[in-house]
């Protein structure tokens, strides 16, 4: 009899943002197939004899193809009781969780979806940027940043993005100039504020604020993984960003 596969979202990076359900499943897993952006501390939850299988992907370098990952899920499900496919963020937000679920159903492998906190919302929040805000943003869209000029056909309806208040691009660093150019072309304000948030929710988090036009004219030093936020809400960052402990201590001293 086949085991069960759990398609689990690991959240945006901070181990404390892992859901209670995900924690319980990881603690009892026999096999964990995990992605590149998984925080190593999350893997420490696994029991000592759990088999850890790295299947990470990054631009131009895939450890395993999606077909190979599917085959591994099938193999381990047929030989182990509890198999976890651990993905960064949420498995259904550019995580190809839907494809894997369809594959498992095809082979009659029991599976369960365990949602995770998506970086599209949590990373801007940790940087002090609300993706919606009364009077500034009543709509948002989450868009893949993998689109390139070389693609003959696009899956993105670029024109529709003109009327959306806040845009969040994931996996976008290498294509940031192309994205900025497309947004200006469809009519977004060239001076519209943009934030790049590097390794959000972790101790390495850093933020670069710029504009669409400056992305095209200036050399912005930002490395992946980063979330790109476009919209007026970026300007709220200096008002909403919470104090680090040392900043709060200094503020208390000034008040006294």
* 35 in catalytic set: yes
β-pairing, 82-87 with 61-62? unpaired
Handedness of CA 89, 71, 36, 95 (dihedral sign): negative
The predicted structure's pLDDT at residue 10? 98
Candidates 14, 87, 90, 171; catalytic one: 171
The predicted structure's pLDDT at residue 250? 52
* 171 in catalytic set: yes
Distance CA 95, CA 86 (A): 10
CATH T-level fold of 4-117 = Cobalt-precorrin-4 Transmethylase; domain 1 (3.40.1010)
**pLDDT by position in tens, the chain (length 256):** 679 999 999 999 999 999 999 999 999 999 999 999 999 999 999 999 999 999 997 665 657 899 999 999 999 999 999 999 999 999 999 999 999 999 999 999 999 999 999 999 999 999 999 999 999 999 999 999 987 666 667 789 999 999 999 999 999 999 999 999 999 999 999 999 999 999 999 999 999 999 999 999 999 999 999 999 999 999 999 777 655 555 445 544 554 3
The predicted structure's pLDDT at residue 154? 78
The predicted structure's pLDDT at residue 63? 75
Candidates 4, 57, 181, 214; catalytic one: 57
β-pairing, 51-54 with 31-34? parallel
Given a contact cutoff of 8 angstroms between Cβ atoms, the answer to whether 109 and 74 are in contact is: yes
Structure tokens at 113: 């979806």
The predicted structure's pLDDT at residue 255? 45
* 14 in catalytic set: no
Q: Could you give the dihedral angle defined by the CA atoms of residues 69, 143, 59 and 153, in that order, rounded to the nearest 10 degrees?
A: 90
Domain boundaries, the chain: 4-117, 120-240
Candidates 35, 90, 182, 228; catalytic one: 35
Q: Identify the architecture of domain 120-240 in CATH.
A: 2-Layer Sandwich (3.30)
């Amino acid at each position: 009899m086949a085991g069960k596969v759990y398609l689990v979202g690991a959240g945006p990076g901070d181990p404390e943002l892992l859901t209670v359900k995900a924690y319980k499943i990881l603690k009892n897993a026999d096999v964990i197939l995990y992605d590149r952006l998984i925080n190593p501390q999350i893997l420490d939850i696994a029991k000592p004899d759990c088999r850890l299988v790295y299947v990470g992907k990054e631009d131009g370098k895939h450890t395993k193809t999606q077909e190979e990952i599917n085959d591994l899920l099938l193999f381990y499900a047929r030989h182990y009781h509890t198999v976890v496919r651990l993905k960064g963020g949420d498995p259904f937000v550019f995580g190809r969780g839907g494809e894997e679920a369809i594959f498992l159903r095809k082979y009659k492998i029991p599976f369960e979806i365990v949602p995770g906190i998506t970086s599209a919302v949590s990373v801007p929040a940790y940087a002090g940027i609300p993706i919606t805000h009364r009077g500034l943003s009543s709509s948002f869209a989450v868009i893949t940043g993998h689109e390139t000029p070389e693609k003959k056909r696009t899956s993105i309806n670029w024109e529709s993005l003109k009327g959306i208040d806040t845009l969040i691009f994931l996996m976008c660093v290498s294509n940031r100039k192309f994205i900025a150019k497309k947004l200006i072309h469809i009519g977004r304000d060239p001076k519209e504020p943009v934030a790049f948030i590097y390794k959000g929710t972790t101790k390495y988090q850093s933020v670069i604020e710029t504009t669409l036009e400056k992305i095209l004219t200036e050399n912005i030093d930002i490395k992946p993984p980063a979330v790109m936020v476009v919209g007026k809400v970026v300007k709220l960052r200096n008002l909403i960003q919470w104090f680090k402990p040392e900043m709060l201590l200094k503020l208390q001293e000034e008040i006294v």
